[in-house]
Amino acid sequence: MALKQPQNSLLGSESDSQRTLYPYVTGTSVVALKYKDGILMAADMGGSYGSTLRYKSLERMKPISKHSLLGASGEISDFQEILRYLDELILYDNMWDDGNSLGPKEVHNYLTRVMYNRRNKFNPLWNSLVLGGVKNGNKYLGTVSMIGVNFEDNHVATGFGNHLARPILRQEWHENLSFEDGVKLLEKCMRVLLYRDRSAVNKLQIGKITEEGVTIHRPYSLKTYWEFSTFENPAQGAIGS
Amino acid sequence: MDLEMNLNAPHSMGTTIIGVTYNGGVVLGADSRTSTGMYVANRASDKITQLTDNVYVCRSGSAADSQIVSDYVRYFLHQHTIQLGQSATSKVAANLIRLLSYNNKNMLETGLIVGGWDKYEGGKIYAIPLGGTLIEQPFAIGGSGSSYLYGFFDQAWKEGMTKEEAEVRFVL
């Protein structure tokens, strides 16, 4: 059965390996930070199809079991598949019926393994993930990329968020932020992303996870500033105006 | 003038497909052109394909790919119906389409809209674009012709229409 195909490249021929070559429907940045009671996470609800903003009501944050919240950017179909993997993981965990449940650190580790092993097979899940949660009073916030790079920090972001949001967070984040201050800080980040990320959409959700559980708030829009002097009297000085 | 019609190009559908929910169910619509490059291979295609008595799918993209996916899903749904003992739900049909689209994403080029009615959830529309994302929506548009419709739907769509409104305003 094993007819060896002529190898024109070191990586083998295209036909005999399955690999994800490029994403189709993608979500943009996710931003998250630790605050006094737990984790706050924000993501907009846009799903881009190349350069067109095709879907405007995609939920890119989902609760995982009692203790975790997962946010994703990148290919949405791969995110949906990851949710199925996690469903199975949590199901088996619950079936032990031993009173234990997987915490955010464990879920983050599982995701890291999944992402890294897919990367090794040249068939990545095209996502950048943010996993936040609280268990037994311990706050946890981590991230995994599509090539398996993973770390935890007090604040994380994916995609454009790394360039635009994290510098803001480095300046203004501090321990024991209140809920209101945390949301304000996230909104500041999301506003910059809205201004400067072409694939951002002004419809976002804030997810909150505390010891009590997960709440994903209903979608809302940010106010933006456009009162620039250049826009006043645009026809002034124009010939024939 | 370029008379090269590239008759060996894969049959692509150059399509517009629409699925809309209303207060009693769903309305599906599609055009009837199948093109091979610049030549219209079939001007009377039927792009709305039956999967079960209560679930249909609108096909776009590669004609071959969308036909084979529909055929497989119809086959699976038939068996599922026998085993289940009652009609399949539109959600199950949509998920079967998703499974095939997602797991074969490297080879398939087809965007589908599943529309059906079941006794549990009523009328539902599911869009499954390239890549295999599954997204449930109150209405869905697809195919290369759908670009022209985004603006119209964004502005004119509302929930809870009657069948006449849904058909006449949106689909027809």
Predicted local confidence at residue A15, as pLDDT: 55
Contact B94, B101 (CB under 8 A): no
The CATH number of the domain covering residues in A27-222: 3.60.20.10
Pull the structure tokens for residue A232.
């006043």
Query: How many other C-beta atoms are found inside a 10 Å radius of the C-beta of residue A7?
Result: 9
Q: Nearest chain A residue to B107 by CA: give it.
A: A18
Tens digits of per-residue pLDDT, A154-198? 999 999 999 999 999 999 999 999 999 999 999 999 999 999 999
User: Are B133 and A77 within 8 A, CB to CB?
Assistant: yes
Residues A70, B110, A11, A116, Cα dihedral to 10°: 10
**Of B22, B14, B93, which Cα lies nearest the Cα of B47?**
B14
The beta-strand segments (E) located in A168-238 are: 204-210, 213-216
User: Are A49 and B129 within 8 A, CB to CB?
Assistant: yes
Q: Nearest chain B residue to A21 by CA: give it.
A: B106
> Would you call B106 helix, strand, or coil by DSSP?
coil
> Would you call B78 helix, strand, or coil by DSSP?
helix
Total count of residues recorded for chain B: 172
pLDDT at B1 over 60: no
Q: Nearest chain B residue to A55 by CA: give it.
A: B135
> Would you call B18 helix, strand, or coil by DSSP?
strand
Contact B95, B134 (CB under 8 A): yes
Tens digits of per-residue pLDDT, B26-60? 999 999 988 888 888 888 999 999 999 999 999 99
Predicted local confidence at residue B6, as pLDDT: 64
Distance from C-alpha of B134 to C-alpha of B150, rounded to nearest angstrom: 19
DSSP state string for A44-87:
E--EEETTEEEES----EEEETTTEEEEEEEEHHHHHHHHHHHH
Give backbone dihedrals phi and psi of B142, rounded to 5 degrees, phi first. -155, 175
The residue extents of the domains of chain B are: 17-171
Burial bucket for residue A4 (CB in 10 Å: 0-12, 13-18, 19+) = exposed
Residues within 8 A of B (CB atoms), A 67-106 only: 75-77, 80-81
Residue B75 pLDDT level (bands cut at 50, 70, 90):
very high
- Checking ipTM against 0.85, whether it exceeds it is no
Give backbone dihedrals phi and psi of B46, rounded to 5 degrees, phi first. -110, 105
User: Are A76 and B133 within 8 A, CB to CB?
Assistant: yes
CA distance B70 to chain A (A): 19
Which chain B residues are Cβ-neighbours of A57 within 8 angstroms?
A: 137
Kindly state whether A18 is in contact with chain B, defined as any CB-CB distance less than 8 angstroms: yes
Residue A10 pLDDT level (bands cut at 50, 70, 90):
low
Burial bucket for residue A166 (CB in 10 Å: 0-12, 13-18, 19+) = middle
A230 is catalytic: no
- Tell the residue number behind the tokens 């199975």, with chain if given: A88
Predicted local confidence at residue B7, as pLDDT: 65
Residue A2 pLDDT level (bands cut at 50, 70, 90):
very low
CA distance A24 to chain B (A): 6
Residue A5 pLDDT level (bands cut at 50, 70, 90):
very low
Kindly state whether B135 is in contact with chain A, defined as any CB-CB distance less than 8 angstroms: yes
User: Are A24 and B135 within 8 A, CB to CB?
Assistant: no
Instruction: Give the single-character DSSP code of A13.
Output: -
Question: How open is the CA angle B35-B40-B46, to the nearest 5 degrees?
Answer: 70
Please state whether beta strands A68-75 and A25-27 pair in parallel, antiparallel, or not at all (unpaired).
Answer: antiparallel
Residues facing B132 on adjacent strands: none
Residues within 8 A of B (CB atoms), A 38-67 only: 47, 49, 52, 54-55, 57-58
**Of A205, A59, A214, which Cα lies nearest the Cα of A134?**
A214
Find out if CATH 3.60.20.10 is the number for domain B17-171: yes
Mean predicted confidence (pLDDT) in B122-129: 97
Predicted local confidence at residue A235, as pLDDT: 81
The residue extents of the domains of chain A are: 27-222
pTM, two decimal places: 0.86
